[in-house]
Amino acid sequence: MKNARKDSAGKITLSTLSRRQSRREFMIKTALAAGAFGAVPLRGWAADPVNIGALYPTTGSMAQIGVGCVAAAKLAVDMVNEAGGIKSLGGAKLNLIISDVQSDTTVTRTETDRLITGNKLSAIHGCYASALTLIASEVAERAKVPLITGSSSDQLNKGRTYTFTPFARASQFARAQLQMSKLVSDKPKVAVIFENTAFGTSTSNGLKELAPAEGVEIVMFEPYSAGFTDASPLINKVKSSGANTLFSVSYLNDLILIVRTVKQFGLNISINGGSGGFVIPDFYKNVGKLAEGLQGVAHWNHDVSEDAQKVNVEFKKRTGDFAFEYAGGLVAQTFMLADALERAASPDPQKVRAALSTLDVSSGYAAMAPGGKVKFGPDGKNIYGHPVGVQWQHGDLASIFPKEDARAPVMKI
């Protein structure tokens, strides 16, 4: 009877039961051991990657910037992954999903929607230009996917709960520019020219509103159509205004044209190019020594900290250029997302959003911002966020303002 296996009627024998019981006992003992000493990892098992969306204009009028942003995004993901990924998720690697928004507002809307609906995303970053980012943030808000951005429009923090802005806002850029005008003259008379986009209008309105309190006289306030081909009429007005300082709120191509036209006119005027196109390597490549001594403001510069300098070295290896403000800030943003994912211990976008809302860092790559601190308030703004004043010196951008962030003395011109 004991040695019976299975009779002709298909009955289970005692020897079969013994084998099954032995196997069951082994499995129970193994499970108990795993519970006591921790789960035994399966050989060859890897945590699922965490998808991060990246929206940038790699074609169209802003392609120069967009390509640099993508290079920075890839560098940041490599840095996080090489450091062990998201440890609370079993070492999960970040997976960057890039979408070209083609420097177009309509495309930005459709691409943001496609990126979200076609992929399981934990978060998004983008889009460089404020006009594009405003649209992407609307779509992300409806989909309840957090978006973190270096775009500066103050509108991004109005009526949003999934948008996070770790750097300076447009209105803060304006105050810094006004204060920097006193580095040039005790009685600044400023001509403000600005492109008629979300970036241009929000920044210039900030200049106009804050000028009286900063003791700065604005003698000209003139919008222009972005992408214009002749700056002569505009610069003629600047020349007639009696201004001793020019603020140009412009992206790269417009700013190049404006600076060249000022020099062609022989107009002896201090120029603060603000942010946008002024603070990227291609500006110097296009105007050369005409840029020397010109000032601007940035939400990030590659000399703000030792970590920023390390990022700059790696970015230069990959691209041949220094890490411009949006590129360097993008690396910092990726580490902020990694911090949030680590604390959330989940790729779920709503949990990531909750973790971002409690971000509070003062060291490491995530804190790589002017002042070295990032903590988001209820509106998604970094409560410590402020811009840094920069100046072109010997073909590089040096931080010169405010005093606590200065890394080089002001070059007199």
The pLDDT of residue 412 is: 84
The pLDDT of residue 316 is: 97
In CATH terms, the fold of domain 50-168+306-382 is Rossmann fold (3.40.50)
Number of helices (H) and strands (E) in the chain: give both, helices first: 12, 14
The pLDDT of residue 6 is: 43
Q: What is the pTM of this model?
A: 0.83
Residue segments in the chain with a per-residue pLDDT below the cut of 50? 1-21, 23-24, 26-44
Instruction: Name the pairing type of β-strands 360-361 and 295-298.
Output: unpaired
Interatomic CA distance for residues 71 and 347, integer angstroms: 24
The pLDDT of residue 45 is: 55
Instruction: Name the pairing type of β-strands 50-56 and 121-126.
Output: parallel
Q: Taking the domains of the chain in order of start, what are their residue ranges?
A: 50-168+306-382, 171-298+389-405
| Helix, strand, coil content of the chain in percent (nearest 5) | 45, 20, 35
Question: CATH says 171-298+389-405 is which class?
Answer: alpha beta
pLDDT in tens, 196-213: 887 788 778 889 999 999
Query: Is residue 156 within 8 Å of 89, Cβ to Cβ?
Result: no
Interatomic CA distance for residues 182 and 179, integer angstroms: 6
pLDDT in tens, 323-349: 999 999 999 999 999 999 999 999 999
pLDDT in tens, 354-374: 999 999 999 999 999 999 999
